[in-house]
Amino acid sequence: MASVIPLTDLRTVSTVDTREAFVRAAAQHTAPAADAPPVDTRGRLLHDLRISVTDRCNFRCVYCMPKDVYGRDFPFLPHTALLTFEEIARVAGIFVQLGVRKIRLTGGEPLLRRNLERLVGMLAAHGGVDLTLTTNGALLAKKARALRDAGLARVTVSLDALDDPTFRAMNDVDFPVARVLEGIDAAQAAGLGPIKINAVIKRGMNEHAIVPLARHFRDSGHIVRFIEYMDVGHTNGWRMDHVVPAAEIVAAIDDEFPLDPVDPNYTGEVAQRWRYRDNGHEIGVIASVTQAFCRDCTRVRLATDGKLYTCLFADAGYDLRALLREPYSDAQIANAITAIWQRRADRYSEIRTANTPKPSRIEMSYIGG
Residues at the site binding ligand SF4, with contacts judged by CB under 6 A: 57, 59-61, 64-65, 107-109, 136, 158, 293-294, 297, 299, 311-313, 346-349, 365
**Among residue numbers 249 through 278, which ones bind ligand SAM (CB under 6 A)?**
none
User: CB neighbours of 313 closer than 8 A, spacing ≥ 6?
Assistant: 231, 232, 346, 348, 349, 352, 361, 362
Closest among 107, 100, 150 to 128, alpha carbons compared: 100
Asked whether the beta carbons of 314 and 362 are under 8 A apart, the reply is yes
Q: In whole angstroms, what is the distance from residue 194 CA to residue 188 CA?
A: 8
- Smaller CB separation from ligand SAM, 113 or 218: 113
* Shortest distance (Å) from residue 212 CB to ligand SF4: 20
Residue 294's binding partner among ligand SF4, ligand SAM, none (Cβ under 5 to 8 angstroms by kind) is: ligand SF4
Q: Does 23 bind ligand SAM (CB under 6 A)?
A: no
Q: Does 201 bind ligand SAM (CB under 6 A)?
A: no
Residue 25's binding partner among ligand SAM, ligand SF4, none (Cβ under 5 to 8 angstroms by kind) is: none
Q: Does 57 bind ligand SAM (CB under 6 A)?
A: yes
- Whole-angstrom CA distances from 39 to 91, 101, 299, 345 are 19, 15, 12, 11
Q: Is 59 helix (H, G, I), strand (E, B) or coil?
A: coil
- Smaller CB separation from ligand SAM, 136 or 298: 136
Closest among 243, 201, 198, 369 to 299, alpha carbons compared: 369
Residue 347's binding partner among ligand SAM, ligand SF4, none (Cβ under 5 to 8 angstroms by kind) is: ligand SF4
* Shortest distance (Å) from residue 183 CB to ligand SAM: 11
* Shortest distance (Å) from residue 53 CB to ligand SAM: 10
Candidates 133-141, 180-188, 243-251, 337-345; binding stretch for ligand SAM (CB under 6 A):
133-141
* Shortest distance (Å) from residue 136 CB to ligand SF4: 4
CB atoms within 10 A of CB 270: 18
User: CB neighbours of 6 closer than 8 A, spacing ≥ 6?
Assistant: none
**Among residue numbers 61 through 120, which ones bind ligand SAM (CB under 6 A)?**
63-64, 106-107, 109
Provide the sign of the torsion angle of the four alpha carbons 226, 99, 89, 348, taken in this order: positive
* Binding residues for ligand SAM, total number by CB under 6 A: 20
* Shortest distance (Å) from residue 24 CB to ligand SF4: 25
For residues 57-85, b (16+ Cβ closer than 10 Å) or e, as one string?
bebbbbbbbbeeebeeeeebeeeeebbeb
Asked whether the beta carbons of 231 and 206 are under 8 A apart, the reply is no
* Shortest distance (Å) from residue 30 CB to ligand SF4: 30
Q: Does 348 bind ligand SAM (CB under 6 A)?
A: no
Residue 338's binding partner among ligand SAM, ligand SF4, none (Cβ under 5 to 8 angstroms by kind) is: none
Q: Is 319 helix (H, G, I), strand (E, B) or coil?
A: strand
Sequence-ordered strand ranges (E) for 229-365: 259-262, 272-276, 282-286, 299-302, 307-309, 318-319
Candidates 146-154, 228-236, 240-248, 311-319; binding stretch for ligand SAM (CB under 6 A):
228-236
Asked whether the beta carbons of 321 and 306 are under 8 A apart, the reply is yes
Residue type, 156: T
Q: Does 153 bind ligand SAM (CB under 6 A)?
A: no
Residue 335's binding partner among ligand SF4, ligand SAM, none (Cβ under 5 to 8 angstroms by kind) is: none
Closest among 59, 257, 253 to 158, alpha carbons compared: 59
Using CB under 6 A, list all residues that contact ligand SAM.
57, 63-64, 106-107, 109, 134-136, 158, 198, 200, 227, 229-230, 232, 236, 364-365, 369
